[in-house]
Amino acid sequence: MSQISALPGRPAEAAPLTVTVTDQPSPAALAQWRQLVASSPDGDVAQLPEWAGLRATVGFQVRYVLVHAGPGGELLGGAQILERPLPLLGRVGYLPYGPLIAEGPDAHPAVSAALCAALTELGHTRLRMLFVQPPAAGEAISRELRQRGFRDSEANIAPRQTLRLDLTRELSALRGGLSKRLRTWTNRWESRGVTVRLGTQSDVPVLAELLARSGEHQGFAAVSADYLSTLLRDLGGEPGREDGHAVLFVGELAGRPVAAALFSRCSGTLKLRFAGMDRDEAASRSNVPAAVQWHAIEWARRAGLRWFDFGGISAETAAALARGEPRDSMRGVDRFKASFGGQLYHAAPPVELISNPVLRAGYDLSRRWPLGRRLIELAKAALRTGRLR
């Protein structure tokens, strides 16, 4: 643990800030941090201590940067950094949707400066590479970090752009935003034998199998059943705990599970994390994955949530939608997500710090060649799943 009692350059008359960098915060500090994340408009489960515990099951360590208003004072901001060693690269850290600052970065510029200074120090002393995806309100954070030696990042360690539905709208308005095909299906699923229910721990093997099939089809590395089970258990997704941070929905066709989706819940937003489907003709023809999403939208609205988040789209799709191109021109999963009529939502620009010039040059060179790009994708898959192969 390290502490800085006052910030260099802060006026002497200003109340000093206490900056703590630690991998073992006190229970009281963790409780304060959990509350800050949950109350922040940009809060995401990836900044909750329970998420750090989940990532620890696949080899990650956690490090916190916490800024208080003096020793023992109010928590004003912080960050939860996840890190682990990777072959050839060394210890790599990433910060998804952080740092977070009480009342926003503009309300406490000195706190922003303190957090950015601590992150820069970590990037120079402990980590070979540090990737930061600030939340939507973190434009000032991105600028500050660039001024301290970070650069723009294309690593995509956490989705920067997504589609969101405003759940304060009437259900009829949400239905009106669907593609014509989906609007028709909302009145047909029941008659076609399609049902959607809340899932439990007993449904995790089904989710894992469906996710693995989707991964094989779409070319991504799926997480394990153990990982999904831990996520659902530790983030409170069991039925009866509607205030939990994880919710599983299972779509069935004539009583047979053929689609499933696991969502996180934080700061008034239900966000898609994992989804899989049986790719047989009957499940596809009955559009069961869409039924799962629509049921989750209805559930989130009834629960009083503010936003439904589809969990990330490609930069190309985001640019096409911003240009007003039709949803039918999209491809694959992005086309499916766009068919629900959400609005574009952007996090702040991601940044990275690779302080070693040799490693930075090698990283940049690797991105120019197919083999190098493949190695980088394998490293990113390891960061996502914890698997080194």
Query: Which range is least confidently modeled, 6-10, 43-47, 107-111, 168-172?
Result: 6-10
Do 110 and 340 meet the contact criterion of CB atoms below 8 Å apart?
Answer: no
Q: In the predicted model, is pLDDT for residue 133 greater than 60?
A: yes
> Tokens for 205?
């093997």
Q: Residue 304 and residue 8: Cα distance in Å, rounded?
A: 44
> Tokens for 87?
């072959």
pLDDT attached to residue 7: 43
Classify residue 72 by burial, with Cβ atoms within 10 Å: 0-12, 13-18, 19+: exposed
Q: Residue 112 and residue 96: Cα distance in Å, rounded?
A: 16
Q: In the predicted model, is pLDDT for residue 221 greater than 70?
A: yes
Q: In the predicted model, is pLDDT for residue 307 greater than 70?
A: yes
Half-sphere exposure of 118 (CA within 13 A, CB side): 30
Half-sphere exposure of 18 (CA within 13 A, CB side): 14
Predicted confidence band at 199 (pLDDT cuts at 50, 70, 90)?
very high
Helix ranges (DSSP H) in the chain: 27-39, 49-56, 109-125, 139-147, 171-176, 180-185, 204-218, 225-234, 281-285, 288-302, 315-322, 332-338, 357-366, 370-385
pLDDT digits (tens, 9 = 90+) for 238-286: 544 556 899 999 999 999 999 999 999 999 999 999 999 998 888 888 9
Query: Which range is least confidently modeled, 94-98, 139-143, 152-156?
Result: 152-156
Nearest to 350 by CA among 164, 64, 157, 162: 157
**Which residues touch 5 (CB under 8 Å, ≥6 apart)?**
16, 18, 71
> Tokens for 89?
């690269």
**Which residues touch 267 (CB under 8 Å, ≥6 apart)?**
37, 38, 39, 40, 41, 42, 43, 44
Classify residue 177 by burial, with Cβ atoms within 10 Å: 0-12, 13-18, 19+: middle
Q: In the predicted model, is pLDDT for residue 237 greater than 70?
A: no
| pTM summary value | 0.89
Q: How far is CA 220 from CA 5, 144, 215, 317, 382, in A?
A: 45, 33, 5, 18, 11
Predicted confidence band at 116 (pLDDT cuts at 50, 70, 90)?
very high
Q: Helix (H, G, I), strand (E, B), or coil: what is residue 27?
A: helix
Q: Residue 81 and residue 122: Cα distance in Å, rounded?
A: 10
pLDDT attached to residue 245: 95
Nearest to 246 by CA among 103, 51, 98: 51
For residue 259, give the amino acid letter. Answer: A
Between residues 223 and 375, the one the model is more confident about: 223
Please report the domains of the chain, with CATH numbers, ordered by start residue: 2-159+348-385 (3.40.630.30), 161-346 (3.40.630.30)
